[in-house]
Every structure is written in C-alpha cells, then in structure tokens.
Amino acid sequence: MSRASDRAFETIRSMIVSGELSPGEQLVEEALADRCGVSRTPVRDALRRLESDMLVRRNDTQRTFVADWSLDDVADMFELRAMLEGHAAKLAAERMSDAALEELRRCNAELRRAVKATPPNVDLFLELNRDFHALILKVASSRRLATLLATLIEQPVIWRTAHHYGVDELARSSAEHDELLAAFARKDADWAQSIMSGHIRRAYHAYADAHHGLTAIDAADRKRRA
C-alpha cells in the first residue's frame, strides 16, 4: 500500500496503541480521514487492516470501534501466544544456524545492557525484546506461524503496560533468554519450547498482577464514555 494508506494505518494504529483513542471509542471514517490528512478511501483500507489485526472491531452494523479486551480475553491471548511462540522456539531450535545463534546472543547482550542501565531503558528493552522474538520466529521459518503470531503481539494491552515492569522482571526476562540460547545451542527443541512457553506465561502473570486492581475502574471508565 502506498503513502496515504500506510500513513493512515500507522497514524490510527499509533493513536490506538498509545491510548489516544480509548478502548470502545467509535471510529468515524471521515474524522480519521481529516486527522490523517487523506480521504476516506485509504482510511477504509487502514481500518480493514486494523480489523484483521484485531485492534478495532466492527459491530453488526459496520460501525468500527477501538477494540477493548476483558481480562479473560487477555488471558486467552497470552495462552495462545505461549503455545504458538513455544512452537516457534521448537522449530527454531531444530533449524538454528550458528550465525543466527550469534545474532541472538548479541541481541540479548544489548538487551541486558538496557536493563542494567540506570535508570533501565525500558523502551530500548522493549525494542530489543521484540527483535529477539522476531529473530526466533524468522529462524522457525513458518510463514503461517508468523502471520498468526503477528495478530497476537503488538497489542495495545501489552504496550501500555510494559512500563509497569519492575527491574527484576526485566532482568528475569533476559535470564530466560539466556536459557533459550542454551537450548538453541544444544538444539534441544523441547527444552526451548518449554522455556519459551514459560517465558510468555510469566509475562502474563506480571501483566495480571499489575492490573487486577485496575479492571473495575477501567470498566466504569469505559461505561462512562459509552
């Protein structure tokens, strides 16, 4: 997709992920078109893409809204992610090359530096974490799997809450990455799968712990807006 459509997609996407557009809020094509400085046509394209990423949902009469996720939905999402990323790690272990392994090591070394900085560089951590997982997915080399996972990562839920991670959580992440590297080095597919699955599940509980007190407020807030 060329300029206008991409711009619309990225603009709307970042507005959703940043929370500038609240969960449950209605998205009106013409208003978005104005904000993006394009016509409705590319906005419609963008909304379709966002819909397939499940960042927006449509009601039965074709109105679009920013997706809102219940705790159950989030739990669901993490469970699927644990399963699929575990599978990816397994495939990756079987297909890991020395070069790719070395790149993963470099990535995690940088990641650890970001964690150990004072104060820890959370944005950099997130970026390198993304890279690390993306690299594994690449080694797994399953187009299908990549597509499925794409809709599970990069969720606003994750992004808005990642900053709540404590330093200990961040450090634990890079330690788990080390374990993954060990499993990859030994080409132990089942081990890699187990670690990855646990890695994601731990992330879920970190999320849940940080949020279980907020959901009631969120729900009330959402209702008020609607």
Partner DNA sequence: AGCCGCATTATTGTATACAAATCCTATTCG
Partner DNA sequence: CGAATAGGATTTGTATACAATAATGCGGCT
Q: Which residues bind DNA (CB under 7 A)?
A: 1-6, 26-31, 38-42, 44-45, 59, 61-64
Q: How far is the CB of 42 from DNA (least distance, A)?
A: 4
Q: Please report whether residue 76 would count as binding a second copy according to CB under 8 A.
A: yes
Residue 208's alpha-carbon distances to 158, 175, 203, 213, in angstroms, are 11, 21, 9, 9
Task: Specify the 3-state DSSP secondary structure of 64.
Answer: strand
Member of 39, 142, 161, 194 binding a second copy (CB under 8 A) = 142
Rounded to whole angstroms, how far apart are CA atoms 57 and 54? 6
Q: Tell me the number of residues near a second copy by CB under 8 A.
A: 24
Nearer to DNA among residue 48 and residue 202 (C-beta): 48
Q: Please report whether residue 223 would count as binding a second copy according to CB under 8 A.
A: no
Rounded to whole angstroms, how far apart are CA atoms 88 and 197? 10
Nearer to DNA among residue 6 and residue 68 (C-beta): 6
Strand partners, 60: none
Nearer to DNA among residue 63 and residue 212 (C-beta): 63
Q: How far is the CB of 42 from a second copy (least distance, A)?
A: 11
H/E element, 66: strand 64-66
Angle between helix 122-140 and helix 98-116 axes, rounded to 10 deg: 170
Nearest-10 Cα torsion for 177, 183, 185, 186: 170
CB-count burial class (<10 Å; 0-12, 13-18, 19+) for 8: buried
CB under 5 to 8 A by kind: which of a second copy, DNA, none does 64 bind?
DNA
Member of 80, 100, 135, 208 binding a second copy (CB under 8 A) = 80
Nearer to DNA among residue 26 and residue 70 (C-beta): 26
CB under 5 to 8 A by kind: which of DNA, a second copy, none does 118 bind?
none
Rounded to whole angstroms, how far apart are CA atoms 3 and 38? 10
CB under 5 to 8 A by kind: which of DNA, a second copy, none does 39 bind?
DNA
Q: Which two tokens stand for residue 200?
A: 């994601």
Q: How far is the CB of 3 from a second copy (least distance, A)?
A: 12
Lay out the site mask for a second copy across 55-74 (x = CB under 8 A, - = otherwise): -------x----------x-
Strand partners, 58: 64
Which residues would be at the binding site for a second copy (CB under 8 A)?
Answer: 1-2, 44-45, 48-49, 52, 54, 62, 73, 76-77, 80, 83-84, 87, 142-145, 147-148, 151-152
